Amino acid sequence: MGVLNGVQSQVFRPLPDVLRAEAIVDRLSSAITLGLLRQGEQLPVENQLAVMFGVATATVRDALQTLREQGIIEARRGRSGGTFIIGAPRTNLESLRQRLLRLSMAELRDMEDEQVATALAAVRLIIGRAFPHDFDRLERIARTMGEATTPESCVRADMRFHSELAVLSQSERLLATQMRLLTESIEIMWTVLTVEADRDWTMNDHLVIVAALRSRDLIAAERAVREHISRDFYRLVAARLDVLYPIGPTNE
């Protein structure tokens, strides 16, 4: 790659340190909210984090400082010392809303495409691979949504259901893709959906998917998955447009 063309030079422009530290705070906070990192768990040491995130140690230190100030992590001294997760991040509604507003129609549609593609691949594999007790387990997970009383608990229940779909597919790569997709969208989704109005149909959608999988009806499972994801994204699009362009067909 001798001379960079216009697009390429944009790719390689340096990232500002502040943004990188913020990105690390966001990434770790999301992971804790979504249950990927649990309270009591120990974080890797600073040097290791710097290598993993591909940033300077000072940037990691800034990010950890912010998380400490928010009471999310604490440093413990001694032989079994280290940095531990001790608290849950407060949902930063404003930052999640901004993330939604920055997504264009094309990007939202593309996100939906990838989620649908991943979910369709998962249901196909599940029908071929899962055992009846797997469907019992999936149904139990789907029903936990019924007890969710806060947006945060809806996020966790939703997350559990969709990650379990990938788990039951038996594909590590599909699970990795699914986790990336959920991490970027599911918290945003529950800033738009509400517990009262949307929890029950979401759970119902999940149960319809379980029933179709249980009867190993591929066509019904595919339709249920597509309709569920498309309902979610219809709401995301409407919420974004209603804020950015208040007059319009989606606003009541």
Partner 1 sequence: MSEARGGLERASKAIGDLFAAVYDDLTTMALACERELRVARGTKVELTERHLRAIQPAAATFLNRHAFPVAAGIVLGPDLADNNVGAVEWWRRGDSGSTQRIVFNLSREDPGFYDFVTYEWFAEVVSTGKPAIQGPYLDYAGMDKYILTSMVPLSLDGMLIGTAGCDTEVRELETVIMPILRTIPEDAALVSKFDRIILGNSGRFLVGNRVVALPKDAIRCEIPGPELGLQLVAAPRARHV
Residues that bind partner 1 (CB under 8 A): 3, 5-7, 9, 104-107, 109-110, 112, 201, 230-231, 233-238, 241, 244-245, 247-250
- Which residues lie across from 178 on neighbouring strands? none
Cα(78)–Cα(68) distance, integer angstroms: 18
With contact defined as beta carbons under 8 Å apart, do 193 and 187 qualify?
Answer: no
Cα(232)–Cα(67) distance, integer angstroms: 31
Rounded least distance, CB 206 to partner 1, Å: 15
Rounded least distance, CB 66 to partner 1, Å: 30
Residue 120: closest CA among 177, 66, 80, 82:
177
DSSP-based three-state secondary structure for 122: helix
Closer by beta carbon to partner 1, 6 or else 40: 6
Rounded least distance, CB 12 to partner 1, Å: 13
Closer by beta carbon to partner 1, 48 or else 250: 250
Rounded least distance, CB 121 to partner 1, Å: 20
Closer by beta carbon to partner 1, 3 or else 219: 3
Please, is 23 exposed, middle or buried when counting C-beta atoms within 10 Å of its C-beta (0-12, 13-18, 19+)? middle
Closer by beta carbon to partner 1, 126 or else 154: 154
Closer by beta carbon to partner 1, 30 or else 118: 118
Angle between helices 57-69 and 17-33 (to 10 degrees): 50
Rounded least distance, CB 251 to partner 1, Å: 9
Rounded least distance, CB 63 to partner 1, Å: 28
Please, is 102 exposed, middle or buried when counting C-beta atoms within 10 Å of its C-beta (0-12, 13-18, 19+)? exposed
Closer by beta carbon to partner 1, 150 or else 230: 230
List, as one string, the DSSP characters of 40-51: TPEEPPHHHHHH
Cα(238)–Cα(242) distance, integer angstroms: 6
